[in-house]
Amino acid sequence: MSLKPSISKGTKDYLPDDLGKRDYLKKILRETFEIFGFLPIETPSFERSETLIGKYGEDGDRLIFKILNSGDKLKKADIESFNEEDMGRFSNSLSEKALRYDLTVPLARFVSQHRNEISFPFRRYQMQNVWRADRPQKGRFQEFLQCDVDILGNRSIIQEVEIILMCEHIFSRLNLKNISINLNHRKILEGIAILIGAKDKFLKLTSSLDKLEKIGKDGVIKELRTYRFSKKSIDSLTPFIDLKGNFKSKIDFLSSRLKEIEVANEGLDELSSIHDKITKYKLNSISVNFDITLARGLDYYTGLILEVLPTKNEFDFGSIAGGGRYDNLTDFFGLKETSGFGISFGFDRICLILEKLELFPKDLLKSSKIMFVNFDDHITEDCLQKIVKLREKDIPCEIYPTKSKLKKQLDYANQRKIPFVVMIGPDEFSKKEFIIKNMETGTQSVFKTINLIDEIMKLI
Amino acid sequence: MSLKPSISKGTKDYLPDDLGKRDYLKKILRETFEIFGFLPIETPSFERSETLIGKYGEDGDRLIFKILNSGDKLKKADIESFNEEDMGRFSNSLSEKALRYDLTVPLARFVSQHRNEISFPFRRYQMQNVWRADRPQKGRFQEFLQCDVDILGNRSIIQEVEIILMCEHIFSRLNLKNISINLNHRKILEGIAILIGAKDKFLKLTSSLDKLEKIGKDGVIKELRTYRFSKKSIDSLTPFIDLKGNFKSKIDFLSSRLKEIEVANEGLDELSSIHDKITKYKLNSISVNFDITLARGLDYYTGLILEVLPTKNEFDFGSIAGGGRYDNLTDFFGLKETSGFGISFGFDRICLILEKLELFPKDLLKSSKIMFVNFDDHITEDCLQKIVKLREKDIPCEIYPTKSKLKKQLDYANQRKIPFVVMIGPDEFSKKEFIIKNMETGTQSVFKTINLIDEIMKLI
């Protein structure tokens, strides 16, 4: 009895065509990261559970894939907790390690662990898969590639400026125009929370504000009411939700409203200074905006918060990159005062956009450039000798492995998108000639075998 | 309280230096695979358990990492089996998916599932991590990269010849000489089993023979005795264990001894024909040998078996690549008659050899080529403008983010192995000049700022 072949839901196979495109995007990201002075690191796919659990909030923790203990360790299963229906404890007793949920916590662990082997400021990029036990949705997978760039060990806002310039560089190379980079600052949000008298409900405030796009102003207000924000709080918040205008005018409005609140002023100064620096560059692909509702849900940001998305969002998803400044991420692991700034690119979403806008170059598939037709064992041996020579010249080529019918062999070349086919039948062989067939046009040309390498080099 | 940062045992962090080397090897493998007409695929890190379990023998199955069910599914835990100490059943009730153990079974699943989207013969390569719950040892990790190349859907021995030629191509490009490729054939081993009257104990015979190198002839004989091989069987096996000589003489010896046994003749014909074809090529890095004891433990091989190892094995490990012909691997998934031949390269072991023999090129680290010293906010803005221009010309560069002491900034450049440092102090800035310092020689030169891009382009 045979098994119906299928994959686990929320995962995906990549065929050669897909990988041609993904490699193109990977290459551009990797090259840009390196041009900006970032170096690669890689961390293990699974980490000790205590490294990951408790860093992503309750919702995040639930989505971490745990690895089941094996052997004798499985005997330590806490059956009592199962009987008490305490599934959290039961599950912890069955597992000691878990799959990477993002690249940020592993980075914090890495930097703390290798602090004496690396030099600060530490500029690193990392392109590795992460896993989340999310309910699978269209375009959302349980395994996906994250591409993160971070600088740790320095507070200068040059980092923020550089990362924004890097976005311009990447999207220009991808020919992707109309990309919005929305900025906000944690300290401005804190200032607003203080002003409206809701300092103790800061996280509830920001998580509601973050949903403005999705649930609208009324939705936000309704949610704040359920969180027991006072009418007065909500009324004083309204002008901030309604805030319109360009970057400068928003800064001016906030500066006047929040002028008494020191933390807000710090945030406004920094944000305005970053914006001033950025405006000195000619930006073709990105525009930089100030979005006072942006919070990005993550509690560990302490300064600038940033989100990247297509301006005309005809795609069914939000941001294609996001990041921010964090001051205390390595504290967990005993490394203090290591402020960092980073951005994470959503690889799959960028792929989807390039696909939809037809921005992938043609011919990304690295198929053989030449296929030799297989006519006869004797001739085949001779062809293989020539193939070896072509390969020494880095020309991808192959021979059809069996003497199948010509049509079948040519069909294979077609399906594989091989542009040229070399035919040496017994006739050609005796005349020391060969035929090259252009698979796109169908035209055939005859040459002397002695010139085979040269003629093929001319074609490719 | 902070957590001591550490990783799960059997896993490894890769620092930028490591990755420079690994990328070099990956690139050579990838390019060679493509020159030989292979296309990449990728499969998910985890598969449904039923896809993997039962394909690797009992020992293999035990080493598969299982992923713990979460949410409501965890409530289906089979506590009865725990109480009965049936840990296999208990563990199966807790998990529905498992991490990839190799790339071969996922390939069989992939080819069966996508049979209508791909063209046969299907030439694919795959470079992805696999995970095994092995006891961690020196140079042996629970997560490691496998690089597999397979051709499915064709029985021609051109595949075997091509894969061997591909090994020559790879090891030549790596400047790695003295590589042995040991061949054997499943059908010859079957013939021997028939001849010595041990056809029903075939797997025990081959697994013992496979240990000859490790436990010696006496060890093999002792083991066969414990498996209740008769004295007569063992006596008739001895000449095969003692077999010496070159490829041709071994074939001749076996042909005379096994001439009555049809299956053996098929194997000998095929092996000898593959060898004949190979000898027509000039081989610089590899030598091809016949090792009658080679079995590679895997039951799914049906034809040629192949193992690659350094001839002077001064390394603490065996093969650096291995593979074989398999006829029925996709049968599990309902795809019949899809014979394949493949090889798997042990990436980490090849890395270790290149490291030990100092065969990695220098300068694999892709650090910035230029670092601008940070003197003053005003000058820094000007430097950043120049950096943007350099980056547009694909020159990796960066600016030190803060006005730290010059020594600290130069130390950073040194640690990062950045070859050139640009210095524009207030003096230089007013004179419209800049200094380039060669970090290796320590020499400094002064140029006009207007020529900055050109002067730097000349250096790099």
Integer Cα distance of A306 and A40 in angstroms: 22
> Do the Cβ atoms of B16 and A40 come within 8 Å?
yes
Question: Does the pLDDT value for residue A183 go beyond 90?
Answer: yes
Confidence of residue A121 (pLDDT cuts 50, 70, 90): very high
ipTM score? 0.93
Percent of chain A surpassing pLDDT 90: 85
Burial profile B129-168: b = 16 or more Cβ within 10 angstroms, e = fewer: bbbbbeeeeeeebbbbbbbbbbbbbbbbbbbbbbbbbbbb
* Domains detected in chain A: 16-43+115-356 (3.30.930.10), 46-99 (no CATH), 370-459 (3.40.50.800)
Question: Does the pLDDT value for residue B420 go beyond 80?
Answer: yes
pLDDT of residue B313: 63
Confidence of residue A205 (pLDDT cuts 50, 70, 90): very high
Q: Among the listed ranges A141-145, A222-226, A417-421, B87-91, which one has the minimum average pLDDT value?
A: B87-91
Integer Cα distance of A196 and A229 in angstroms: 10
**The A433-438 sheet, strands edge to edge:** A397-399, A370-372, A420-423, A433-438, A444-448
Question: Does the pLDDT value for residue B297 go beyond 70?
Answer: no
DSSP assignment, residue B107? H
- Cα atoms in the 13 Å half-sphere on the side-chain side of A260: 4
Kind of pairing between the strands at B340-346 and B143-152: antiparallel
CB contact residues (below 8 A), chain B span 413-442, against chain A: 415-416
For chain B, the maximum distance between any two Cα atoms, rounded to a whole number of angstroms, is 97
Interface test with chain B among A84, A158, A412, by most B beta carbons within 10 Å? A158
CB contact residues (below 8 A), chain A span 242-271, against chain B: none
Integer Cα distance of B191 and B199 in angstroms: 8
CB-based contacts of A389, cutoff 8 Å, min separation 6: A453
- Mean predicted confidence (pLDDT) in A312-322: 79
DSSP assignment, residue A148? E
Integer Cα distance of A33 and A26 in angstroms: 10
Helices (H), B49-86: 49-52, 57-62, 79-83
pLDDT of residue A152: 96
pLDDT of residue B6: 94
Amino acid at B348: D
Under DSSP, is residue A453 helix (H, G, I), strand (E, B) or coil? helix
Shortest CA gap A42–chain B (Å): 5
> Do the Cβ atoms of B34 and A366 come within 8 Å?
yes
Integer Cα distance of A357 and A85 in angstroms: 50
Chain A residues with beta carbon closer than 8 angstroms to that of B385: 280-281
pLDDT of residue A95: 96
Q: How do residues B340-398 score in pLDDT, each as one tens digit? A: 999 999 999 999 999 999 999 998 988 899 999 999 888 999 999 999 999 999 999 99
Question: Does the pLDDT value for residue B298 go beyond 70?
Answer: no
Q: Which two tokens stand for residue A235?
A: 């009324």
Chain B residues with beta carbon closer than 8 angstroms to that of A34: 366, 396
Kind of pairing between the strands at A420-423 and A370-372: parallel
Q: Which residue has the higher pLDDT, A61 or A99?
A: A99
CB contact residues (below 8 A), chain B span 95-134, against chain A: 95-97, 99, 109-110, 112-114, 117-121, 123-124, 129, 131, 133
At CA B366, angle to CA B347 and CA B25, rounded to 5? 15
> Do the Cβ atoms of A74 and B62 come within 8 Å?
no
